[in-house]
Copies of this chain bind each other. A is one copy, B any other.
Amino acid sequence: MTPKRAAALVIGNELLSGKIAELNVLVLARTLRSIGIALERVLMIPDERALIAREVRELSAAHDVVFTSGGVGPTHDDVTIDAISDAFGVSAEVMPELETQLRAYYRETITEGHLLMARAPAGSRLLANAEHPWPTIVKENVWILPGVPQIFAMKMPIITAELGGAPRFVSLAVFTTLDEGLLKPLLDRVVAAHPAVEVGSYPKWHEPRYKTKLTFDGIDAVAVQRARDSFAASLPQGTQIDIDEE
């Protein structure tokens, strides 16, 4: 079955303390959206093994697929592998495929610390392709991704290749000089008339050309188009702006 409903677990004290800006959720959200998977929940928590284990267990049970970000390096605050092992009641084991790659990379400079990165929850799948030879670890429905944004982004094509194939979302927009207060009755009408279309309304504060951007999203391209057109037709003359964005 193609997964439909996803959650993300973002792990790291440095994010909760504001030392580092979280950059991975946006990249993941866009990747999932492009293959028709809805990201329903994102949770950000500290590097605490028992807490991570509990949240992974709950998210894994409630969603088709879960993506974790962070905590997979070799230092004391990297507890994600152990925590996800705990969540599934297995131990963390050295994966020969990972150890071989680490030894090939570090050669005689390899340490016990480096080898910690060869560990994965027992029974994990390792996903790799020619472009990204360092495997991605997947335990049951949980993808264990690194926190470093450059490496996290490199994993997205593997997600698309493995989980893609579901119907794509269609997204259309209308830009208007009216504010949300004035738009409300028009929006209420289009929302009620087109239940299969998700309608979004986004006020812009520092945008001279328009005051509000309306978005129309859904799997059914015809329904999305109809909702957008019917809303656009309901706008008073002269209040719709032709604009290129996205």
Contact = CB atoms under 8 A, between A and B. Distances in A.
B40 A16 contact: yes
B181 A74 contact: yes
Which of A26, A106, A113: most chain B CB closer than 10 A? Answer: A113
A114 interface: yes
Interface string A29-70: 111110000111111111000000000000000000000000
Interface string A105-128: 010001111111100000000000
A42 B18 contact: no
Given A16-B42, A33-B18, A150-B205, A113 B25 contact: no
B180 A73 contact: yes
A225 interface: no
Contact of A45 (B41, B113, B117, B203): B41
B33 A201 contact: no
Interface stretch (A87-95, A131-139, A159-167, A185-193): A185-193
Given A19-B246, A21-B26, 19 more contacts: A13-B200, A14-B215, A16-B29, A16-B42, A18-B33, A19-B215, A22-B22, A44-B44, A74-B184, A75-B184, A76-B191, A76-B201, A106-B181, A110-B181, A111-B181, A111-B182, A111-B184, A116-B181, A148-B205
